[in-house]
Amino acid sequence: MSELIQLTRENEIAVITIDNPPVNALSPAVQAGINAAITKINQDEEVKAAVLIGAGRTFVAGADINEFGKITSGKAKRGSFLPVLLAVEDCRVPVVVAIHGNALGGGLELSMAGHYRVAVPTAQVGQPEVNLGIIPGAAGTQRLPRLVGVVKAVEMCTTGKPIKATEAASIGLLDKLVEGDLLAGAIAFAREVAGKPAPKTRLRTDKLGTAEQNAALFAAARETVRKKQRGLQAPLAAIDAIEAATKMPFEKGCEEEARLFDQCLYSDQSKALIHVFFAEREVPKIPDVPKDTPVRPVNSLAIVGAGTMGSGIAMVFANAGIPVTLKDAEQAALDRGLETIRKNYAISVQRGRFTPQFVEERMKLIKPTLSYDDFASADMVIEAVFEGMGLKKEVFAELDRVCKPDAIMASNTSTLNIDEIASVTSRPESVIGTHFFSPANVMRLLEVVRGRKSSKDVIATCMQLGKRIGKVAVLVGNCWGFVGNRMFLPYIREAQFLVEEGAAPEAVDASVTNFGLAMGPLAVGDLGGLDVSYRIRKEFRHLDKPGARRPFMEDRLVEMGRLGQKTGAGWYRYDEQRRSSTDPEIAALAGKWSTEAGIPRRSISEDEARDRLIYMLVNEGARILEEGYALRAGDIDIIYVNGYGFPAYRGGPMWYADTVGLKKVYDRVCEFHRAHGALWEPAPLLKKLAEAGKGFADFQREAAQATT
């Protein structure tokens, strides 16, 4: 046997162990090894049943995702796992698959080819391929509906969400839950079924339903996907493949699945989603803060400021089981904060996300206070007061006085200079930025802002803590707006320019929502309140490029009291339920103000609007990358996908630019530079890469090679 697959014997039971750390991915060698093990078992008369199990922390997390890029770039041939699975299913003796950790993608497909499946209660099983822009490619769409029925199979293959072992057992996907030692339990189960006829999943049809029942189910499923997974191709392909399972014999269904799988695999969507998968796993890797950097224990948190951000952050930590002291200066503000928390939890209970008991336990973890006295024992403090340097400095001076010596002192600032904040403390090495995104209890992104003196153990602690509290933590440098907002501000500025030049707000927003963004820039402004960026623009006016064009629309709307949703009007008009509609007054105001400012009104195409918005992000992203405020182009992509509603299937702004081709992007940026002036000056890195015929991915690869 190969090192990756071990074949051993427990008397009459053969045990195949897959040992391909870290997640037993089904590399070609693993697939060949399983095949060889089955051949041996078939030849060994003494074997009466077999157990197939994974070594290490998990069963099998699916195909080796690294292989997909090699296949689409022509560096590897696309093999098929199907013959191996048929060999398992046609094995002379019953095969019992024993699952712990995860059986995902090809891992679940392998399990379903086995005759029985047993699992520990903590295990999870799923077909998450759609998250990578593909569909199950080893008969998952054919065997799963045969085991769990069409509705559940469609749900699992279109959402990609794994289900818990307990649920899997209740719907017939697992035959038994094993308490205690999994291998021992699986061997005992194998002894029970040895010598008896073993059921083959592919021969079953009892759960496939009738054509009439299914027609309505598939139509409804397609409708749901179009609404909830807007723009994604793979979930629709998964439905097509499952439909094939209900209409064709198994072998033909597999052929149809393979055709659809290939179509998805070679798509831009799949390449982008695979990029996002690996970029997310790259993000915690910080060259000068190695994995084994010691961390400070964080078992309690204190928060200053019970506003929207402070109360949201309190929920995030309470949800992770970490006790929180929540402080505000005023009782009324504290009461409001707690009320917000209660309301948010009530919504989560209504939506079935949390049980009332869970919420009650979390509420007990949040301790309101008006005093800093309660801060002395906190392992970490997050300041979430109003965005203003003076106030933040006051708070940090106070924290320096009350916090214990090794406490981490973090600021939730979204724009301000962490070094300046740290300068008022006697321990700048313990000061760092933890920039949460609103609503903090919902958004996955956390920017960890590294100050000049932030120590490595503080950085490592915050990055690890991010994972513990369910966030994607991305380390960023300390520049204005850090990464996300530094790119976002020019983007929303450009949206205003488009309106000032003649585009309707809904056309501006549609140019990026049609591209796949969750919301357009103007609707986002209305949602958060136009006064937020108004204040930022005012405070940082001194940073504006001298002589460069300045937007005026939004400032004037704010000055008219049109602050967005909260005042019933902003870029759009809102009814009581905050449903938006076009406001003809905006077109009239834009026309009047633009004429006064001497800006000619013209018709603007959707392509121009989209390119100006997206390429503004890319151009600023290129500057950030070159200046070293983001470690990798992929980090910027992860920030935009997780914090700004950028469609993951486009891979993030930097990946998207690479797919367009940087030469094309650069030419367009130059065109906008000529037409609109200094704010479109091409980033030097963009120019350099475009002229060299390279992409951001090449830049990253070369930078990584240079450091190794």
- Residues lying near ligand 3H9 in the complex (CB under 6 A) are found at 22-23, 25-26, 61-66, 81, 102, 104-106, 109, 128-129, 131-132, 136-138, 140, 281
For the bound state, the minimum distance from the C-beta of residue 563 to ligand 3H9, rounded and expressed in Å, comes to 41
Report the alpha-carbon distance of residue 337 to residue 358 in Å, rounded. Answer: 19
For the bound state, the minimum distance from the C-beta of residue 136 to ligand 3H9, rounded and expressed in Å, comes to 4
For the bound state, the minimum distance from the C-beta of residue 634 to ligand 3H9, rounded and expressed in Å, comes to 12
Contact (Cβ atoms closer than 8 angstroms) between residue 99 and residue 59: yes
Q: Crossing angle, helix 662-676 and helix 653-660, to 10 degrees?
A: 100
Contact (Cβ atoms closer than 8 angstroms) between residue 18 and residue 30: yes
Select the residue whose beta carbon is closest to ligand 3H9 and give its number.
105
Q: Which amino acid is at 264?
A: C
For ligand 3H9, which is the closer residue by CB, 238 or 498? Answer: 238
Report the alpha-carbon distance of residue 522 to residue 502 in Å, rounded. Answer: 15
For the bound state, the minimum distance from the C-beta of residue 667 to ligand 3H9, rounded and expressed in Å, comes to 35
For ligand 3H9, which is the closer residue by CB, 127 or 311? Answer: 127
Q: Which amino acid is at 291?
A: K
Contact (Cβ atoms closer than 8 angstroms) between residue 283 and residue 634: yes
- Can you read off the two tokens belonging to residue 162? 């794994």
For ligand 3H9, which is the closer residue by CB, 65 or 329? Answer: 65
> Given strand 5-10, what is the order of strands in its sheet?
5-10, 13-18, 49-54, 95-99, 116-119, 176-177
For ligand 3H9, which is the closer residue by CB, 228 or 467? Answer: 467
Contact (Cβ atoms closer than 8 angstroms) between residue 64 and residue 26: yes
Buried (b) or exposed (e) across 135-170, using 16+ Cβ within 10 A?
A: bbbbbbbbbbbbbbbbbbbbebbbbbebbebeebbe
For ligand 3H9, which is the closer residue by CB, 110 or 309? Answer: 110
For residue 633, is it left (φ>0), alpha (ψ between -120 and 50) or beta?
Answer: alpha
Is-catalytic flag, 129? yes
- Beta-carbon contacts of 232 under 8 Å, excluding residues fewer than 6 positions away, are 130, 133, 225, 269, 649
Residue 691, helix vs strand vs coil? helix
Report the alpha-carbon distance of residue 196 to residue 476 in Å, rounded. Answer: 60
Contact (Cβ atoms closer than 8 angstroms) between residue 344 and residue 362: no
Residue 487 to residues 374, 625, 636, 653, Cα–Cα distance (Å): 38, 12, 10, 10
The helix or strand, by DSSP H or E, that contains position 5, with its residue range, turns out to be strand 5-10
Contact (Cβ atoms closer than 8 angstroms) between residue 103 and residue 174: no
Is-catalytic flag, 109? yes
- Can you read off the two tokens belonging to residue 433? 């930025």
For ligand 3H9, which is the closer residue by CB, 129 or 531? Answer: 129
For ligand 3H9, which is the closer residue by CB, 36 or 333? Answer: 36
- Can you read off the two tokens belonging to residue 386? 């109003």
For ligand 3H9, which is the closer residue by CB, 44 or 268? Answer: 268
Contact (Cβ atoms closer than 8 angstroms) between residue 484 and residue 445: yes
For the bound state, the minimum distance from the C-beta of residue 116 to ligand 3H9, rounded and expressed in Å, comes to 21
For the bound state, the minimum distance from the C-beta of residue 353 to ligand 3H9, rounded and expressed in Å, comes to 20
For the bound state, the minimum distance from the C-beta of residue 32 to ligand 3H9, rounded and expressed in Å, comes to 13
For the bound state, the minimum distance from the C-beta of residue 201 to ligand 3H9, rounded and expressed in Å, comes to 15
For the bound state, the minimum distance from the C-beta of residue 444 to ligand 3H9, rounded and expressed in Å, comes to 14
For the bound state, the minimum distance from the C-beta of residue 264 to ligand 3H9, rounded and expressed in Å, comes to 10
For the bound state, the minimum distance from the C-beta of residue 429 to ligand 3H9, rounded and expressed in Å, comes to 28
Q: How many CB atoms lie within 10 A of CB 330?
A: 10
For the bound state, the minimum distance from the C-beta of residue 624 to ligand 3H9, rounded and expressed in Å, comes to 23
For ligand 3H9, which is the closer residue by CB, 128 or 477? Answer: 128
The helix or strand, by DSSP H or E, that contains position 276, with its residue range, turns out to be helix 268-282
For ligand 3H9, which is the closer residue by CB, 105 or 428? Answer: 105
User: Residue 382: which of 474, 448, 284, 480 has the closest Cα?
Assistant: 448
For ligand 3H9, which is the closer residue by CB, 30 or 93? Answer: 30
Strand partners, 395: none
Contact (Cβ atoms closer than 8 angstroms) between residue 516 and residue 647: yes
The helix or strand, by DSSP H or E, that contains position 317, with its residue range, turns out to be helix 308-319
Tell me if the bond preceding 287 is cis, omega within 30° of 0.
no
- Can you read off the two tokens belonging to residue 79? 């093999």
One-character DSSP codes across 117-149: EEE-TT-EEE-GGGGGT----SSHHHHHHHHH-
**Which one from 10, 45, 89, 109 is the annotated catalytic residue?**
109
**Which one from 3, 46, 67, 129 is the annotated catalytic residue?**
129
Contact (Cβ atoms closer than 8 angstroms) between residue 298 and residue 408: yes
The residues that are catalytic are 109, 129
